[in-house]
DNA sequence: GATGAATGAGTATTCATTCAT
DNA sequence: AATGAATGAATACTCATTCAT
């Protein structure tokens, strides 16, 4: 079973491969039991390694959690960014980014679990993740399409909406309907009227329809 | 130091007072370390009691946490309800309830901690708390002032906005500005235009201005 | 509900009645959970008294257990003794005493539990209980009907047979068959042939048939 | 101090040795305080290990007690069995088995404590231990030398005699005299006359005289 | 570097006993 | 005498971390 982190290590030395196995193990454990309840022994067992091996690669539990979080968050951010290079309208960007983000989290529940855990327990990672959103909101203000006061508080509120959506879909099964509603709500927060929000989301969905490989 | 639960016990027997001391201890510990990390020994120590005393009053840790949660949630709900008996407009009700809720949570950080912990870790209490909101949203739909699909998902999203607001104000200091913004955002979610949301909140603030004793 | 110990206290003072209630409570608890697992709080609760009352009447847990044990053991011994005043044949006496003993223990499971607990955990009480048996065995030797070496060891072995029988009947339901077999085995231990043992038990049963009120 | 379980581990890995140390520790603790009162901390302390080490080797307290019990019971059973392969007479077999059993229990008081604890508190182990006896009683019935009703009750009664014998000898010092008497009593229970019982035991003792290494 | 055994501080819970009312 | 609340020592079990091989 090749996990996400291990994909980066083909051709690398043993050390890297073991390290990646631990990161992947941690990710699976987080998906299974949540970030709070991940035990070192779960992680090493899942990775097929001995207990003590862990400490050859990580200082302590916090470190691996942080690395997993940054790894996934970075990958998600980069992937979404790539897929949006040619989208210029801020409203569309927000919808596409949000949809993508939710889709990745729900399609790969391991990523979803890590993302949720990160947003809730790791402020730094949360800030990191929301950097992308921040840029798009700024763009929307410049384009005159968002009626907002752009500050950390708004970012946190939007993030909370996304987390709620992911969590519900992870538990109750993926529903594009919920994602649509989430996007509409975010646009409403940004000042769009219900009608405009709905219209924007529908239009954006078309752009999303085509190239949808997430991992 | 007289805690919230102890106020109910003047004139009662020793049993009630000790029980209240434990509930207050639990509340303080939750405020200090979060609901997840509250230890029995923390609680008894904070209450100035021996370890074993805890079990003369509560079955186990879950029980006291539940009682604290229901105690605070009930009190908050009742207080807000009382103060809204003569408000008929759903939009105003939502704003007043939200403002009051946030105000109580922030003014008494111990209550805030319990409320946040409850919403995050105790589904039953969460449902209880959101019952009030649900009724007002329904009212707004009947009054034709909200453009929403009223379901659990929307309730969860609104609750998330409130929690974010409380958490931020608990950390960064109380700011009526943030509460205003939170209310506006909720109204936006409900379909009001930015202008209408702002106007509604401003108007509602006047009604809030007068009798503001929270505890 | 009038327990055994309370019967002795009609007309006595309050102190005696409370004390008796505790003894009866202890007896019931022993019957329900065994001597090892009897808790003070069980006893007082069963007696309908407050926790602390216990220590107004007994030094500690051991004391009440001992008193219950001696109380029941004495009563059983005396009752059996009375009913055997006019039985002269040692073999018959052994059979009658054993049958009676088992019958009382099984018919009043509370007594049975106390007796078993005593025999197993309280050497002094055990010795006390077996005094009666000792006398009959001695008699049998004098009468030339027992072929034994009469020592503590033999007494313990016979006691063990009786305990096994009581325990089985308490669990699986009273069976006179088992009592018969137990008596026969004891007689075999005493040197009687299987045929003689069987004959003796049958004959003794007749004497038992008549006045059978045990408690 | 080399315990019984450690003897099996020369040449094995550290894990096995530690595990054996715990088993031996448990055995010593059982000998000192009885199976009921054996605490984990006693066991680890006796084994010279840290508290937590216990749980690297056993699921919980029950597991180690069961393993100790089965270990000793199995060893005792096998040893006795081996030494009786060429004994065909059921009466002799019963005597030899009983004598051996008692001898092993008394000579190694730790074994005795475990065996007694097992018989009293672990029905499965008791059944296991008495299987051997059951077979020999059956044989005796076939051979027409026992006049018994062979059922669980009889097995329990015989077992009780053996336990009494072991317990007394463990407290009062080993006495072959008591063992002889125990065997005679068992044979009496099986229907032999005192004379025949005595004769059988004497004869069997000769066979026992020679190869008497127990552990 | 990997291994995995050992460690021990930490945590919930029980219950006999004390003691103020 | 009775009450019943408070006590705290005792105990099973968890898990991050260390360390010898």
Contact state of B153 with A193 under an 8 Å Cβ cutoff: no
- The answer to whether the beta carbons of residues C99 and C183 sit under 8 Å apart is yes
Chains in contact with B via at least 3 Cβ–Cβ pairs below 8 Å? A
Give the side-chain half-sphere CA count within 13 A for C60: 1
Closest among D96, D92, D87 to D192, alpha carbons compared: D92
Evaluate if residue C149 carries a pLDDT over 50: yes
A41 touches strand F (CB under 7 A): yes
Residue nearest to nucleotide E19 (CA to C1'): C52
Query: Residues D42-99: pLDDT tens digits?
Result: 999 999 999 999 999 999 999 999 999 999 999 999 999 999 999 999 999 999 999 9
* Residue A147 touches chain B, beta carbons under 8 Å: yes
User: Which among C156, C161, C194 has CB closest to D157?
Assistant: C161
Evaluate if residue C180 carries a pLDDT over 70: yes
pLDDT of B175: 87
B15 touches strand F (CB under 7 A): yes
Q: Which residues does chain B have within 8 Å of residue A185's beta carbon, measured at their own beta carbons? A: 157, 189
pLDDT of D51: 95
The conformational region for residue B191 under phi > 0 = left, psi -120 to 50 = alpha, else beta, is: left
Contact state of A161 with B160 under an 8 Å Cβ cutoff: yes
Specify the DSSP class assigned to residue B184.
H
- The answer to whether the beta carbons of residues C112 and C105 sit under 8 Å apart is yes
* Residue A185 touches chain B, beta carbons under 8 Å: yes
- The answer to whether the beta carbons of residues C36 and C56 sit under 8 Å apart is no
pLDDT of B212: 46
Return the structure tokens found at D56. 């690297």
- The answer to whether the beta carbons of residues B26 and B38 sit under 8 Å apart is yes
User: pLDDT tier at D214 (50, 70, 90 boundaries)?
Assistant: very low
- Average of pLDDT values for B74-86? 93
- Alpha carbon dihedral B51, B53, B54, B56, in 10-degree steps, equals 150
B58 touches strand E (CB under 7 A): no
pLDDT of B214: 40
Cα C38 from Cα C29, distance rounded (Å) = 6
Cα A122 from Cα A115, distance rounded (Å) = 10
Evaluate if residue B213 carries a pLDDT over 80: no
Q: Could you tell me which chain D residue has the CA closest to the CA of C178?
A: D153
Evaluate if residue D12 carries a pLDDT over 80: no
* Residue A163 touches chain B, beta carbons under 8 Å: yes
Find all residues with CB under 8 Å of D9, minimum gap 6, and list them.
D16, D17, D19, D20
Evaluate if residue B168 carries a pLDDT over 80: yes
A7 touches strand E (CB under 7 A): no
Give the side-chain half-sphere CA count within 13 A for C204: 28
Cα D145 from Cα D186, distance rounded (Å) = 13
A14 touches strand E (CB under 7 A): yes
- Give percent of chain C above pLDDT 70: 96
Number of helices (H) and strands (E), helices first, in chain D?
A: 11, 0
Chains in contact with C via at least 3 Cβ–Cβ pairs below 8 Å? D
Q: Which nucleotides of E are covered by protein (CB under 7 A)?
A: 1-20
Mutate to test the interface with B, among A38, A120, A148, A157 (most CBs of B within 10 A): A157
Q: Which residues does chain C have within 8 Å of residue D185's beta carbon, measured at their own beta carbons? A: 154, 157, 189
Mutate to test the interface with A, among B157, B167, B196 (most CBs of A within 10 A): B157
Q: Which nucleotides of F are covered by protein (CB under 7 A)?
A: 1-20
Q: Could you tell me which chain B residue has the CA closest to the CA of A192?
A: B193
What share of residues in chain A are helix, strand, coil (percent, to 5)? 75, 0, 25
Q: Each residue of B4-25: b (16+ CB within 10 Å) or e?
A: bbbeebeeeeeebbbbbbbbbb
User: pLDDT tier at C206 (50, 70, 90 boundaries)?
Assistant: confident
B10 touches strand F (CB under 7 A): no
User: pLDDT tier at B1 (50, 70, 90 boundaries)?
Assistant: low
pLDDT of A200: 97
pLDDT of A9: 80
Q: What is the 3-state secondary structure (H, E, C) of A175-210?
A: CHHHHHHHHHHHHHHCCCCHHHHHHHHHHHHHHHHC
pLDDT of C1: 58
Give the side-chain half-sphere CA count within 13 A for A135: 10
Query: Residues A81-134: pLDDT tens digits?
Result: 999 999 999 999 999 999 999 999 999 999 999 999 999 899 999 999 998 899
pLDDT of B202: 95
Q: Which residue in this structure is represented by tokens 């409850």? A: B118
Contact state of A189 with B188 under an 8 Å Cβ cutoff: yes
- The answer to whether the beta carbons of residues A22 and A54 sit under 8 Å apart is yes
User: pLDDT tier at C215 (50, 70, 90 boundaries)?
Assistant: very low
Q: Which residues does chain B have within 8 Å of residue A140's beta carbon, measured at their own beta carbons? A: none
Q: What is the pTM of this model?
A: 0.91
Contact state of D161 with C161 under an 8 Å Cβ cutoff: yes
* Residue A177 touches chain B, beta carbons under 8 Å: no
* Residue C175 touches chain D, beta carbons under 8 Å: no
pLDDT of D210: 59
Cα B18 from Cα A212, distance rounded (Å) = 60
Cα A153 from Cα A170, distance rounded (Å) = 26
Evaluate if residue A215 carries a pLDDT over 50: no
Q: Which residues does chain A have within 8 Å of residue B168's beta carbon, measured at their own beta carbons? A: 152-153, 156
User: pLDDT tier at A211 (50, 70, 90 boundaries)?
Assistant: low
Closest among A9, A22, A174, A17 to A104, alpha carbons compared: A174
- The answer to whether the beta carbons of residues D58 and D22 sit under 8 Å apart is yes
D50 touches strand E (CB under 7 A): yes
Q: Which residues does chain B have within 8 Å of residue A193's beta carbon, measured at their own beta carbons? A: 193
Cα B2 from Cα B22, distance rounded (Å) = 12
Evaluate if residue D213 carries a pLDDT over 60: no
Q: Which residues does chain B have within 8 Å of residue A165's beta carbon, measured at their own beta carbons? A: 153, 157
Evaluate if residue D117 carries a pLDDT over 90: yes
Mean pLDDT of chain B: 92
Sign of CA dihedral A68, A72, A77, A78: positive
Evaluate if residue D30 carries a pLDDT over 50: yes
Return the closest nucleotide (C1') to the Cα of C54.
F2
Which 44-63 residues of chain D approach strand F with CB closer than 7 Å?
51-52, 54-55, 60-61
CB count in 10 Å sphere of residue C143:
13
CA distances (Å), C186 to each of C161, C181, D137, D157, D161, in order?
A: 8, 9, 19, 10, 12
Mean pLDDT of chain D: 92
Closest among C154, B85, B97, A6 to D185, alpha carbons compared: C154
pLDDT of B210: 59
Evaluate if residue C213 carries a pLDDT over 90: no
Query: Residues B8-44: pLDDT tens digits?
Result: 777 778 899 999 999 999 999 999 999 999 999 999 9
Q: Angle at Cα D57 formed by Cα D54 and Cα D58, nearest 5°?
A: 80
Query: Residues D163-193: pLDDT tens digits?
Result: 999 999 999 888 899 999 999 999 999 999 9
A51 touches strand F (CB under 7 A): yes
Q: How many interchain CB pairs under 8 A, A with B?
A: 55
Q: A8-12, A18-22, A159-163, C143-147: which has the minimum mean pLDDT? A: A8-12
Query: Residues C43-59: pLDDT tens digits?
Result: 999 999 999 999 999 99
- The answer to whether the beta carbons of residues A72 and A27 sit under 8 Å apart is yes
Mutate to test the interface with D, among C144, C172, C189, C199 (most CBs of D within 10 A): C189
Sign of CA dihedral D65, D21, D116, D159: positive
User: pLDDT tier at B208 (50, 70, 90 boundaries)?
Assistant: confident
- Average of pLDDT values for B121-146? 94
Evaluate if residue B211 carries a pLDDT over 60: no
- The answer to whether the beta carbons of residues B186 and B158 sit under 8 Å apart is yes
* Residue D36 touches chain C, beta carbons under 8 Å: yes
Q: Which residues does chain B have within 8 Å of residue A153's beta carbon, measured at their own beta carbons? A: 164-165, 168, 178, 181
- The answer to whether the beta carbons of residues D168 and C153 sit under 8 Å apart is yes
A12 touches strand F (CB under 7 A): no
Cα A182 from Cα B158, distance rounded (Å) = 12
Return the closest nucleotide (C1') to the Cα of D15.
E5
- The answer to whether the beta carbons of residues B96 and B207 sit under 8 Å apart is yes
Cα D198 from Cα D188, distance rounded (Å) = 9
Distance from CA of A24 to the nearest CA of B (A): 26
Cα A30 from Cα A24, distance rounded (Å) = 10
D56 touches strand E (CB under 7 A): yes
Q: Which residues does chain B have within 8 Å of residue A156's beta carbon, measured at their own beta carbons? A: 164, 168
pLDDT of B206: 83
User: Which among C152, C154, C185 has CB closest to D157?
Assistant: C185
Query: Residues C63-120: pLDDT tens digits?
Result: 999 999 999 999 999 999 999 999 999 999 999 999 999 999 999 999 999 999 999 8
Evaluate if residue C211 carries a pLDDT over 80: no
Q: Which residues does chain C have within 8 Å of residue D168's beta carbon, measured at their own beta carbons? A: 152-153, 156
- Give percent of chain D above pLDDT 90: 84
- Give percent of chain D above pLDDT 70: 96
Distance B53 CA to F8 C1' (A): 10
Distance from CA of B17 to the nearest CA of A (A): 35
Return the closest nucleotide (C1') to the Cα of A53.
E2
Query: Residues A15-58: pLDDT tens digits?
Result: 899 999 999 999 999 999 999 999 999 999 999 999 999 999 99
Specify the DSSP class assigned to residue B59.
S
C7 touches strand E (CB under 7 A): no
User: pLDDT tier at A210 (50, 70, 90 boundaries)?
Assistant: low
Q: What is the 3-state secondary structure (H, E, C) of chain C?
A: CCCHHHHCCCCCCHHHHHHHHHHHHHHHHHHHHCCCCCCHHHHHHHHCCCHHHHHHHCCCHHHHHHHHHHHHHHHHHHHHHHCCCCCCCHHHHHHHHHHHHHHHHHHCHHHHHHHHHHHHHCHHHHHHHHHHHHHHHHHHHHCCCCCCCCCHHHHHHHHHHHHHHHHHHHHHCCCHHHHHHHHHHHHHHCCCCHHHHHHHHHHHHHHHHCCCCCC
Residue nearest to nucleotide E20 (CA to C1'): B14
Distance C206 CA to F10 C1' (A): 55
pLDDT of C174: 82
């Amino acid at each position: 079973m090749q996990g996400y982190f291990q994909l980066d290590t083909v051709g690398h030395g043993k050390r890297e491969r073991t390290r990646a196995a631990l990161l992947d193990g941690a990710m699976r454990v987080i998906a299974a039991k949540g970030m709070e309840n991940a035990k070192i022994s779960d992680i090493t067992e899942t990775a097929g390694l001995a207990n003590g091996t862990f400490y050859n690669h990580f200082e302590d539990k916090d470190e691996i959690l942080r690395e997993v979080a940054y790894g996934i968050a970075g990958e998600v951010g980069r992937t979404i960014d790539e897929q949006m290079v040619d989208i210029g309208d801020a409203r569309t960007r927000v919808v596409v980014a949000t949809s993508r983000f939710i889709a990745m989290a729900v399609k790969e529940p391991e990523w979803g679990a890590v993302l949720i855990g990160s947003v809730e327990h790791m402020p730094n990672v949360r800030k990191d993740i929301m950097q992308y959103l921040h840029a798009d909101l700024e763009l929307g203000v410049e384009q005159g399409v968002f009626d907002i006061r752009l500050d950390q508080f708004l970012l946190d509120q939007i993030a909370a909406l996304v987390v709620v959506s992911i969590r519900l879909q992870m538990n109750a099964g993926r529903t594009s309907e919920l994602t649509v509603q989430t996007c509409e709500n975010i646009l409403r927060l940004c000042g769009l009227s219900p009608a405009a929000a709905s219209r924007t989301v529908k239009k954006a969905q078309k752009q999303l329809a085509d190239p949808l490989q997430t991992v």
